[in-house]
């Protein structure tokens, strides 16, 4: 397709019998291959070994996506990976935006995280290396009535608990299998094997963790997954654990914050993090801490969990992410990057960042091209709020939170602004709405909603995974080891503003490149 053509209409028409056949193929593939969720628990306490699972919510068809835009954001991922590594190492920048003079002052989640990090910096950090497993999220942008070419715009850049890698690989494999099995009944000329891109997220993410483990240089150490109690998206995490053991001979231990507090100690001299885990008589050293928790205030119901986070951060284990890298992923940082000269200072200042990764103006432009307009609500006195009130119909407001369900959209904005006091403005950004193409529908299937998928208007969000290991010797100029790690396509009903699979609004999908 060319840049200027309207986006293709989707889906092709399926007979009811074809729809039923594809629904059966999709759900049974999902159940056979671990494209699964734990069901909502029906009794308390939840049994430690789950007796059953349900298929993850999914689409019956892949969703068309412009090939050149997919390839564009794949190419730009390397720049983003180095960019966020540099942000995480720029302490004065993070202090200014997320520290006591910025968000930490007014936000009771960012505040304790930043203060914990500050305290550890004053003590002296035991581990300069940091691991990021990133997911840069995008939507297609095709404003109705505009003659501009369809484009792709970034929603956000995740630096902590970037999830659905493994399930996304399985969703892509499921659609590829359905094509191999039925050619989707030849209902569209776009169904061709070359239009189903490979998706190898699980090996990619595991490779990032394995690189960090190797850099830690204690072969028999374990990787710690810090997880949420009652997590239903466990299979997505387990696939990474299996890959680490099978392909890299690395063992994983899974603990919540509270379990970590109970079972771990720091070696007073080496700062090694050691965890008591059955059946081993002695505590096991931890090489890498991979957080699949800790991104939301709900994971820190009391000061004890913040203390555990700081206890882990104090250790010599490599954190994925460090507190610094988690703070770098804040929406306020995303917004600050759009200020004049900021991106240039991170990408083009060779005196500061050295010659290991050299970028030019074209890289700066490629990153900037993925942005929509953003500003802080504290911008220029009352200006930020005034602009947000005036432009509300085309905006979304975001606080410094992750995991979905925190934003305020369009017509809700004016009333919300009335409730926001002067102080709180500092923790919120305004962002232009990305407007995905209309006339795209797909069949959404959720376990337990009856045997039929629902055909509905949809919008999709593409996530590009990558990892980066950086900070060797505490040197900003040292090399950032980084690699791509596949992608995620999530699709939601058009009437739902939010897109989290875990929060129940969206389903796993895959790309059909057109």
Positions touching ligand ADP (CB under 6 A) are 137, 155-156, 372, 396, 398, 401-404, 406-407, 431, 433-434, 461, 497-500
- How many Cβ atoms are within 10 Å of 215's Cβ, its own excluded? 16
- Rounded to 5 degrees, what are φ and ψ at 351? -60, -40
Q: Which is nearer to ligand ADP, 69 or 252 (CB)?
A: 69
Q: Which residue is nearest to ligand ADP (CB)?
A: 499
- How many Cβ atoms are within 10 Å of 108's Cβ, its own excluded? 10
- Which of 232, 481, 490, 492 is an active site residue? 490
* Cβ 407 to ligand ADP shortest distance, Å: 5
Yes or no: say if 458 and 442 are a contact pair by the CB < 8 Å rule. yes
- Is 315 among the catalytic positions? no
* Cβ 306 to ligand ADP shortest distance, Å: 20
- Is 135 among the catalytic positions? yes
DSSP-assigned states of every residue in 102-129? THHHH-TTHHHHHHHHHHHHHH--S---
- Is 189 among the catalytic positions? no
- Which of 156, 243, 285, 313 is an active site residue? 156
- Which of 211, 285, 335, 402 is an active site residue? 402
Strand pairing category for 408-409 and 395-398: antiparallel
Beta strand segments in 53-150, E: 54-55, 58-59, 63-65, 130-141
Which distant-in-sequence residues (6+ apart) come within 8 Å of 101 by Cβ? 95
- How many Cβ atoms are within 10 Å of 493's Cβ, its own excluded? 16
**Contacted by 434, from Mg ion, ligand ADP, none: CB < 5 to 8 Å by type:** ligand ADP
**Contacted by 66, from Mg ion, ligand ADP, none: CB < 5 to 8 Å by type:** none
Distance of CA 429 to the CA centre of its chain: 19
- Region of 14-22, 46-54, 138-146, 402-410 interacting with Mg ion (CB under 5 A): 402-410
- Which of 163, 442, 460, 506 is an active site residue? 163
* Cβ 462 to Mg ion shortest distance, Å: 12
- Is 403 among the catalytic positions? yes
Q: Which is nearer to ligand ADP, 187 or 497 (CB)?
A: 497
- Is 401 among the catalytic positions? no
The pair of structure tokens assigned to 9 is 């209409």
- Is 118 among the catalytic positions? no
Q: Applying CB under 5 A, does 402 fall inside the site for Mg ion?
A: yes
* Cβ 421 to ligand ADP shortest distance, Å: 22
Determine the Cα–Cα distance for residues 93 and 114; give it in Å rounded to an integer: 13
- Is 238 among the catalytic positions? no
Q: Which is nearer to ligand ADP, 156 or 313 (CB)?
A: 156
Yes or no: say if 138 and 156 are a contact pair by the CB < 8 Å rule. no
Binding mask 127-156 for Mg ion (x = CB under 5 A): -----------------------------x
Q: Could you tell me how many residues of this chain bind Mg ion (CB under 5 A)?
A: 3
**Bridge partner residues of 429 (DSSP):** 376, 398
Determine the Cα–Cα distance for residues 464 and 477; give it in Å rounded to an integer: 26
Determine the Cα–Cα distance for residues 187 and 325; give it in Å rounded to an integer: 46
Q: Applying CB under 5 A, does 158 fall inside the site for Mg ion?
A: yes
**Contacted by 441, from ligand ADP, Mg ion, none: CB < 5 to 8 Å by type:** none
**Contacted by 34, from Mg ion, ligand ADP, none: CB < 5 to 8 Å by type:** none
Counting beta carbons within 10 angstroms of the beta carbon of residue 249, is it exposed (0 to 12), middle (13 to 18) or buried (19 or more)? exposed
Chain positions contacting Mg ion, by CB under 5 A: 156, 158, 402
| Catalytic residue list | 135, 156, 158, 163, 331, 398, 402-403, 490
């Amino acid at each position: 397709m060319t840049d200027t053509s309207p986006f293709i209409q989707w889906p092709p028409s399926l007979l009811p019998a074809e729809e039923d056949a594809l629904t059966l193929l999709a759900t049974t593939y999902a159940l056979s291959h671990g494209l699964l969720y734990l069901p909502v628990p029906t009794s308390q306490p939840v049994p430690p070994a789950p007796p059953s699972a349900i298929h993850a919510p999914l689409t019956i068809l892949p969703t068309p996506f412009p090939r050149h835009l997919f390839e564009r954001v794949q190419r730009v991922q390397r720049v983003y990976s180095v960019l966020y590594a540099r942000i995480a190492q720029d302490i004065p920048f993070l202090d200014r935006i997320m520290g006591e003079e910025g968000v930490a002052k007014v936000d009771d989640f960012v505040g304790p995280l930043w203060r914990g990090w500050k305290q550890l910096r004053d003590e002296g950090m035991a581990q300069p290396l940091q691991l990021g497993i990133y997911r840069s999220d995008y939507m297609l942008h095709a404003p109705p009535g505009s003659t501009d070419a369809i484009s792709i715009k970034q929603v956000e850049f995740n630096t902590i608990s970037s999830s659905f890698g493994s399930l996304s690989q399985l969703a892509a494999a499921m659609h590829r299998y359905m094509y191999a099995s039925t050619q989707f009944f030849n209902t569209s000329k776009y169904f061709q094997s070359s239009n189903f891109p490979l998706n190898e997220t699980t090996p990619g993410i595991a490779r990032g963790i394995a690189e960090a483990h190797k850099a830690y240089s204690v072969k028999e150490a374990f990787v710690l997954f810090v997880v949420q109690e009652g997590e239903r998206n466990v299979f997505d995490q387990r696939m990474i654990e299996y890959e680490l053991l099978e392909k890299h001979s690395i063992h994983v231990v899974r603990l919540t914050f509270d379990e970590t507090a109970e079972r771990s100690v720091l070696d007073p001299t080496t700062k090694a993090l050691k965890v008591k885990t059955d059946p081993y008589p002695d505590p096991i050293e931890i090489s890498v801490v991979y957080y699949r928790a800790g991104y939301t205030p709900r994971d820190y119901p009391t000061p004890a969990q913040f203390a555990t986070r700081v206890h882990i951060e104090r250790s010599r284990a490599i954190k994925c992410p460090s507190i610094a890298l988690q703070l770098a992923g804040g929406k306020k940082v995303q917004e600050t990057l759009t200020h004049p000269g900021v991106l240039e200072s991170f990408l083009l200042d060779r005196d500061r960042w050295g010659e290991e990764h050299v970028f030019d103006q074209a890289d700066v432009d490629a990153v900037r091209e993925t942005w929509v307009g953003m500003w802080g609500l504290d911008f220029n006195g009352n200006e930020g709020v005034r602009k947000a009130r005036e432009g509300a119909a085309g905006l979304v407001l975001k606080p410094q939170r992750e995991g979905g369900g925190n934003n305020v959209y369009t017509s809700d904005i004016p009333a919300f602004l009335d409730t926001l006091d002067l102080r709180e403005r500092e923790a919120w950004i305004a962002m232009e709405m990305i407007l995905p193409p209309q006339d795209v529908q797909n069949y959404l299937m959720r376990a337990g909603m009856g045997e039929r998928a629902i055909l509905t208007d949809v919008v999709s969000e593409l996530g590009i995974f990558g990892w980066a290991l950086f900070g060797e010797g505490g040197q900003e100029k040292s090399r950032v080891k980084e690699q791509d790690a596949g992608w995620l396509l999530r699709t939601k009903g058009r009437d739902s503003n939010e897109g989290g699979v875990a929060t129940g609004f969206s389903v796993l999908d895959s790309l059909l490149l057109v």
